[in-house]
Amino acid sequence: MDKRDLLVRTAFKLFYTQGIHAVGINLVLQESGVAKKTLYHHFPSKDHLVEATVRFRDEAYHHWLTGRLGAVAAGRPALLELFSALDDWFHGRAGEIDVFRGCFFINASAEFGDRDNAIHEACAEHKAKIVALIQSHVALLALPAGQARELTDLVTLLKEGAISMAHVQGNLDAALQAKAVFEHVTAGFHKTQSPS
Amino acid sequence: MDKRDLLVRTAFKLFYTQGIHAVGINLVLQESGVAKKTLYHHFPSKDHLVEATVRFRDEAYHHWLTGRLGAVAAGRPALLELFSALDDWFHGRAGEIDVFRGCFFINASAEFGDRDNAIHEACAEHKAKIVALIQSHVALLALPAGQARELTDLVTLLKEGAISMAHVQGNLDAALQAKAVFEHVTAGFHKTQSPS
DNA sequence: CTCCAGGTAGACAGATTGGTCTACTAAGGT
DNA sequence: ACCTTAGTAGACCAATCTGTCTACCTGGAG
C-alpha cells in the first residue's frame, strides 16, 4: 500500500529484466498504477528512483543470502552453501530473489559507468557488503592472515565470475563449477584449526 | 578512411564509456563526422551498429590477449601472463585496448539481457572464444581430463570475477589478487607432465 | 474547522530518440 | 557515355523521454 515502496519494487522488476535506460518512467507508472505526480513527490528525478531500486535490491539480496548461509554451520559449510545458493538462483529456484538476469549491480554499473556516480557508488557498497560477509566466514577457519585474505579473494572472485559467466554465456552450471573448484582447493581446510 | 570502420570505432568508444542506450546515433554521427545517410547505408538499424561494435571489440580484444599470451611460453606461464595483462588493462597500461571501463561484453549483455538477442549472442560467442583460449593453454599441462576442466573453470572464473570487481568496486588490484590465488593453487603444476 | 500531506488523472513542454528522405557530388567499372 | 556505389548536409517525422503543472480528492492532526 505504501506507494513509494510499490514504485521501487515495480521499477526494480522492470529495470532488472529490461535494463534501466531502456525502461521509461511512464512504463513504471503504468505498471504500478501510480500517478506521475506521486513519483515526483517521492523522488526528485529518475536517477533517484534508480538509486532507491539499487538500495532495495541490496537489502533484499543481502537478506536472502544471509538467510541461506545462516541455515548451515558457519565457516566452510556456509561458503559451500554460498555456491549452492547461487546455483539455485541461476536456475530460478530462489523464489525470494526472482528470476536470474545477471547481477543487478553489475548491470547498473554497466549503465552508469562513472565511478563517482551515486548509483555506481551504491553498487560498490553492495559488493563491499558481500565481501565482508564472505570474510566473516573465512575468519572462522582461523587461518594465517595471508591465507585468509587469499581465500576471501578466491571465494569472491569465483562467485563474481560465476554470475558473469552464467549471465553472458548462459552457462547456468557456473555456480557448480565454482563450487567444485572451491571444494577442491579447500579440501585440506575441513577442520576449524589447521594443525601446526 | 573507410567510413564504416570509422563509425564502428567511434561508436565503440562512446558505447564503452557512456553506455549503449545512453548514446544516441546523432552523437556517434557528430563525433565521427559522418553523415546519417552513410550510417544507414551501412547498417539497417542502430542495433546492427551495436552488434558490429561488439564484433569489432571481440576481434581487438582477442588480438590483444593472444599477443600478450604469445609473448611468453605457452602453458602455465601464459596463464600467469593473462593476469598480468588484466592488471595492465585495469591500470590503463594496455594502450591497444583503451581505458578500462569494465568488460564491454558484460556491459552490453546487461543492456540487452534477452539471451536470444543477436547482440547478447555475439557477447556469448566472445566469451566462448576466450574460454577456448584458456583451455588451449591448460591442455598443455597434460593433466587428467577432470583436473584440466577444473583448472579451466578456475582461470575463467577468476578472470571474469576480477573484471567485475575491478569495475563495480573499483578494486584495481583484483587481477593481482586473482593471480596470487592462481599461483598458489597451481604451485604443484610447474612441470609440464605430472609424475604418475 | 482547517490545513496539509499524499494521492489521482492526465495535459503539456521541450528535448531527444531512431529513422527516412530529398538533393547533390565524386569516383570507377563496363 | 552511363550507371552504380559511397558519400555530403540536413530537413523532417513520429514516437518517446523526463519532468512540470493544473485541478481535484481524501484522511488525519492541530
> Which of B109, B157, B178 minimises the CB distance to A178?
B157
Report how far residue B81's alpha carbon sits from residue B45's, in angstroms, rounded to the nearest whole number.
39
Report how far residue A149's alpha carbon sits from residue B147's, in angstroms, rounded to the nearest whole number.
25
Report how far residue B109's alpha carbon sits from residue A102's, in angstroms, rounded to the nearest whole number.
9
Low-confidence ranges of chain B (pLDDT < 50): 192-196
Report how far residue B113's alpha carbon sits from residue B47's, in angstroms, rounded to the nearest whole number.
14
Give the model confidence (pLDDT) of A74-129 as tens digits: 999 999 999 999 999 999 999 888 899 999 999 999 999 999 999 999 999 999 99
Give the model confidence (pLDDT) of B129-150 as tens digits: 999 999 999 999 999 999 999 9
Q: What is the distance in angstroms between the Cα of B13 and the nearest Cα belonging to chain A?
A: 13
Geometric angle at alpha carbon B117, from B113 and B123, rounded to 5°: 75
Q: In terms of Cα–Cα distance, which of B94, B93, B90 is closest to B168?
A: B90
R_g of chain B, CA atoms, integer Å = 19
Residues of A (49-68) placing their beta carbon closer than 7 angstroms to any atom of strand C are none
Please tell me the predicted confidence (pLDDT) of residue B1: 65
R_g of chain A, CA atoms, integer Å = 19
Does an H or E element contain A23, and which? none
Report how far residue B109's alpha carbon sits from residue A69's, in angstroms, rounded to the nearest whole number.
29
What is the CATH topology of the domain spanning A46-189?
Tetracycline Repressor; domain 2 (1.10.357)
For chain A, what are the domain ranges? 46-189
Q: What is the distance in angstroms between the Cα of B27 and the nearest Cα belonging to chain A?
A: 17
Please tell me the predicted confidence (pLDDT) of residue B98: 85
Give domain B45-189's CATH superfamily. Tetracycline Repressor, domain 2 (1.10.357.10)
Report how far residue B108's alpha carbon sits from residue B20's, in angstroms, rounded to the nearest whole number.
7
Q: Do B106 and A110 touch (CB under 8 A)?
A: yes
Distance B34 CA to C23 C1' (A): 18
Q: How far apart are the first and last CA of chain A?
A: 59
Please tell me the predicted confidence (pLDDT) of residue A108: 98
Q: Give chain A positions within 8 Å (CB) of B127.
A: 165, 168-169
0.95 surpassed by complex ipTM: no
- pLDDT above 90 coverage of chain A, percent: 91
Report how far residue A151's alpha carbon sits from residue A78's, in angstroms, rounded to the nearest whole number.
14
Q: Do B110 and A115 touch (CB under 8 A)?
A: no
Does an H or E element contain B131, and which? helix B118-139
Q: Do B167 and A109 touch (CB under 8 A)?
A: yes
Q: How far is CA B63 from CA A163, A168, B66, B68, in A?
A: 26, 21, 5, 9
Q: Do B168 and A128 touch (CB under 8 A)?
A: no
Is strand C in 7 Å reach of the CB of A37? yes
Please tell me the predicted confidence (pLDDT) of residue A193: 44
Please determine, for residue A195, whether its predicted confidence score (pLDDT) is greater than 60: no
Q: Do A21 and B17 touch (CB under 8 A)?
A: no
Report how far residue B61's alpha carbon sits from residue B104's, in angstroms, rounded to the nearest whole number.
10
> Which of B161, B168, B184 minimises the CB distance to A150?
B184
Interface-testing mutation among A61, A105, A106, with chain B (most B C-beta atoms within 10 A): A106
Q: Mean pLDDT over residues A7-16, rounded?
A: 97
pLDDT band at A187 (very low <50, low <70, confident <90, very high): confident
Written as one letter, the residue type at A30 is: Q
Q: What is the distance in angstroms between the Cα of A50 and the nearest Cα belonging to chain B?
A: 15
Please determine, for residue A72, whether its predicted confidence score (pLDDT) is greater than 70: yes
